[in-house]
Structure 1
Amino acid sequence: MKTIIAVLMTLSLTSAYASTDCRGAFTKVANLGQTADEGLNSSLKTYKTALEDFRADRYEDSLEAAKVAEILANQAQKLFLKVRDGLSDLRFCGSPIAEQSQKLSSYVDQRLDAMDIYLDKIETMISGLERMTGQKDFDVIGEIMGGNKEEKNAMCFGQTMCPNGMVVSCQTYGQGCSWFVTNGAVVCTGYNQYGQWVTTQGRCW
């Protein structure tokens, strides 16, 4: 199945009215856009893997996958920005190159807007996972058992509002406990009421 960019490129190449220079320039920009699309799709697949690892409590693997997803997304974003710059040079080309350039420009703008939100999600996930995996490097059990009363009674209560207005929450205890909001959930790490070090979630769905 052809992508939107591939369709636009085909239409421009089959036009008998477009100049050779304009066709060549548009093809170059469209090819760059296809590369950006492929990079973004690779990032999304890797991000999905990070989420699957997270749900399976494989936090180190999840963190590694999330960082790879971020790198791929940043690379794709830079390419989309180059595409947008390249399209500005085609504004004086006649139809249909100008028309196809406008459609591709709208598509790229939509991609860039969506990527801003996507990158924010990845950054939030990475930040939370870095805190979680970093805390596991310490002997938190020894700290709690040997700590003072204030440390033993520490509590982390996390909550977030879902798109449908419902509020979900989670709660853990003890020194070193933490919580953060990720895609569709709030995650708490710490001791439960039975004295076990756990990671719990309040999910929107």
Structure 2
Amino acid sequence: MGKSFARLSCITGLAVALCGAPVAHAAKAQSQASFGPAGGVQVQFDAGSRRTLVAGRAGSGQCFSFTLPQEWRSTTGSLETRLKSASSDAELVVSLRPSHELHGLPQPDLASRDAALLQRDYENLLGRPAQSVSLASLAPGAVRWSATWVDGHLPGGPMTVEAFILPLSDDWVLELSLSNIEAKEEYDGLIRGLLTDLSLREGASCIGRVSF
């Protein structure tokens, strides 16, 4: 599983292997996260529960949150937050994409259009089409997308990229990409827990803070 699962698109965030993004410590000993501006993501580690809260705002009236086991540290860009486990090499990229970037694509829904754009980004970056592509439905509107390149001329050899795509509204799509986990059971368990814990809020409930 490991290093092959990584974000590579310079449009939506290069993988660490290619871009070498720095990692900064998340604030500790906090049990609440304040929502930032639209598109912002906040990360807080709670020492008591030994869990990390990730909370973000998508637009003015909608926000999302989920927790991760143990401590994760983050560095945040405009619409992307990269988290790294404090106890392993595992990384999670949390990206928000405005749906207007998907206009004009022929796919029938936001998730599949986002997957098509991700694939186009990767293929443009790598200069060759993927040899294998999978698009699986997880829940109404959500998909698991993966693509594999087996070209021996690629740096590092064969490579697979994967993203979990969840439309948050008609205006925003959430992309989650987990990498650097060698054990498939650990990878699947972390993703399963993350998606099960994912919470969406709208309107007044999205204002202010979210707690563990």
In the superposition, the TM-score normalised over structure 1's length comes to 0.23
Q: Which structure has the larger Rg? A: 1
Of Structure 1 and Structure 2, the greater helix share is in 1
Q: Which has the higher contact order (CA 8 A, sep 6+)?
A: 2
Of Structure 1 and Structure 2, the greater strand share is in 2
In the superposition, the TM-score normalised over structure 2's length comes to 0.23
